[in-house]
Amino acid sequence: MDARNEMELPEDEIRRRYPQALSLLTGFEHAPRLGRAAPQAMPERSPGIPAGGRFRPTTPGLVGRPVARPDGVRLLERIEDAGGDDLLTPAAATMARVMRRAIAIALTVADEVAARSGAAELKRINLESRLPADRHREFAELLAVESLAALAVLANATTFLLAEHAGEETTEGVTADEVLTDNPLAALKGALWELDQNLAREARTDDSLIATALAWAEALSAAVAARGESAPRVRAFTGAAWRVAEDDLPIAGFAPATKARGGPVAMDYKRPDEVIGNALAKHQAMRLARMMVAYDFDRMMNPFVELGGFTFTFLGDGRPGTGKTTLIQMMAGLIHDYCAVAGYPFRYRNLSVDNVDSYQGKSGQNARAFINAIIDPKVIGFGTIDDIDQIAGRRGDRQSSSGQQEITAVLMEAFAGASTVVRGNATFGMFSNHAENIDDALRQRASARFLIDGPKTRADYIDILALLLGRRHGIPVGEHDLMRAQAMQRAVAESYESHLRPQEAGLQKVFDAVAAQHGPLDNLAELGSYLFAIAQAEPRFTGRAVKSITDAVKARAMDFDMPDEWFQTPEPFLQQPYVRKIQMIEELRRPITTEMVVQEINRYADSEWRYSDSADENAIAAAVRNMERLAEARRRFEGEA
């Protein structure tokens, strides 16, 4: 199911069902019809430990009014005892909370399905004893669909929420035969009864507790999907899709939900030596990747944010085929590897054109979910917006859809709004082949600019040819030192030096005029005069542009080589206290020079001139093309006449 068609399952509706879910976990009676009962011997407790359950009064979030525990299925007690400890284990607490939430989600979806299918109305009529005899079969079929939906969601939500807690242990012989379709409540009781039986047979440790629950959920999901293939009226469930925003859980019929939270990123990572050309962009991406894992999860702050130099948003622009995707793959791979060393959770998301929806408000909702997933302070997040000129519309542009305008508004507020908080655990990269088509205010929210121009020199083209051909050939290299041109330090130094003078013709005139009046720009007054002259020539060069330039200058001050051993094991740097991290970084910080400021002014202003010139050229070319068409049409018309 396409994410654009998903309906968000209200969080307050889910939480409203927590008491009912907790009641099912606490205890209920069930007489099995299809499943096989297991021996009911409970593990012995230590002397002096009361037989009553300890779980509810000791777990935050599960405390409630005392209820009588009936004989029969007492799943909370079973979970509590599975750890083999007199005290509640973290795995048992986690599983109890997961089961409560999974049941609540299942009940919420069951009600949604009942409303879609008409079962809710038939239930009301049946309670009033007014259900006609000729509708009894229809009622039973609708209840069966509602029951299958509840079971499918219970299984998938359990798998999804428990996946990140799974260990290496696996279990065999786990069953899920008690699939009942009388009504959703009976169906859930049957499934939970069978989970209780499986835990009684298999769960003796924390690892086996989680493994058994996951195996049961997988078996239940398969059994319910098989039943659903031949169930009548099942479109009330399979014809819709929902998403639980709090967990990022998709619900699309009987299809198992894949774990996206904190899991491995499905991406073909690239090494830095596989990125040809783009020396400066590659260099800055590598620096930023290391900065991000300096984030302190206890303080929820990054030393590089406090000291200056952290890049929260950046813009990578260049012609098609110049290496934007490769740069994304390289940066994501570096962050992923550093997080693996440190033991940090890493999350990558891409906001694509698929998130632009025709339904009012849905596009903005998709963009907000994307932002929230990346800025989550419990993870290291990297978010990309590829082809942002197609996703975010320009304000006032009649050709932009309402969905594109919604995304623009969300991104602008998230990147530099009143409520924006930069912690240093997340960064956003915007990429475009036509940056001139991005809304001016949104583009200026990119505090760093990466010109991605791909291979440029003869050496670059030889290197990329050799890299892409691979090693399975016998063609000699010839008179060329492979990859020497990609040596980072030399290439980066040359790139920075090239920005001591502007590269765009229009900006060169401004620079020369200021230099003729003030001479070399070696103090704040002269640098400010240059900024003022640029603003006079280019109205879109505002105070926000100056902030982006100063952010880039601060990043240059942090442009130093952090020792490789800091990132090979977590002890030397990654696991150091926050204050110690700041001290270690400050010892390496470089002084800010006028050359740095001039280079960053020229880099930023060059990009604005490039966008402006491209926009003008595109507009002129379109106008010329229209005139040529009109002239040709007139010639043909007059010739026929």
More confident residue, 189 or 620: 189
Cα dist. 357→79, 305, 386, 400 in Å?
Answer: 43, 35, 17, 12
Residue 514 — pLDDT band, cuts 50, 70, 90?
A: very high
What are the backbone angles phi and psi of residue 133, rounded to the nearest 5°?
A: -65, -35
Return d(Cα 524, Cα 601) in angstroms, integer: 13
Which among 280-289, 293-302, 616-625 has the top mean pLDDT?
Answer: 293-302
- Exposure on the CB side of residue 192, measured as CA atoms within 13 A: 32
Of 63-77, 187-201, 453-467, 473-487, least confident by mean pLDDT is 63-77
Strand partners, 380: 346
Residue 466 — pLDDT band, cuts 50, 70, 90?
A: confident
In this predicted model, what pLDDT tens digit does every residue of 290-299 receive, in sequence order?
999 999 998 8
Domains, the chain, ordered by start: 9-28+75-251 (no CATH), 272-620 (3.40.50.300)
In this predicted model, what pLDDT tens digit does every residue of 347-392 receive, in sequence order?
898 998 888 877 677 788 788 888 988 998 888 999 999 889 999 9
Check if the beta carbon of residue 374 is closer than 8 Å to that of residue 381.
yes
In this predicted model, what pLDDT tens digit does every residue of 556-613 receive, in sequence order?
888 888 898 999 898 999 889 999 999 999 999 889 999 999 998 998 888 888 777 6
Average pLDDT, the chain: 83
In this predicted model, what pLDDT tens digit does every residue of 236-255 receive, in sequence order?
898 888 889 888 888 988 88
What pLDDT is attached to residue 167? 66
403 burial via Cβ count (<10 Å: 0-12, 13-18, 19+): buried
In this predicted model, what pLDDT tens digit does every residue of 431-441 receive, in sequence order?
998 888 888 88
Return d(Cα 127, Cα 110) in angstroms, integer: 18
What pLDDT is attached to residue 608? 80
Kindly tell me if the per-residue pLDDT of 283 is higher than 70.
Answer: yes
3-state SS, residue 141: helix
**Residues in contact with 536: Cβ distance below 8 Å, sequence separation at least 6, in sequence order:** none
Residue 226 — pLDDT band, cuts 50, 70, 90?
A: confident
Return d(Cα 277, Cα 450) in angstroms, integer: 12
Rounded to 5°, angle at Cα 24 from 20 and 29: 130
Residue 511 — pLDDT band, cuts 50, 70, 90?
A: very high
Return d(Cα 287, Cα 280) in angstroms, integer: 11
DSSP 135: G
What pLDDT is attached to residue 81? 84
Check if the beta carbon of residue 22 is closer than 8 Å to that of residue 64.
yes
| Alpha helices in 118-135, H assignment, sequence order | 119-127
Tokens 């007690």 appear where? Answer: 77
Q: Crossing angle, helix 136-162 and helix 184-202, to 10 degrees?
A: 40
In this predicted model, what pLDDT tens digit does every residue of 518-539 receive, in sequence order?
988 999 999 999 999 999 998 8
- Choose among 142, 190, 182: nearest CA to 34: 190
Q: Tokens in use for 581?
A: 């991290």
In this predicted model, what pLDDT tens digit does every residue of 99-140 receive, in sequence order?
999 999 999 999 999 988 888 888 888 887 888 888 888 888
Instruction: Indicate yes or no: pTM above 0.95.
Output: no
Strand partners, 449: 315
What pLDDT is attached to residue 57? 40
**Residues in contact with 588: Cβ distance below 8 Å, sequence separation at least 6, in sequence order:** 560, 561, 562
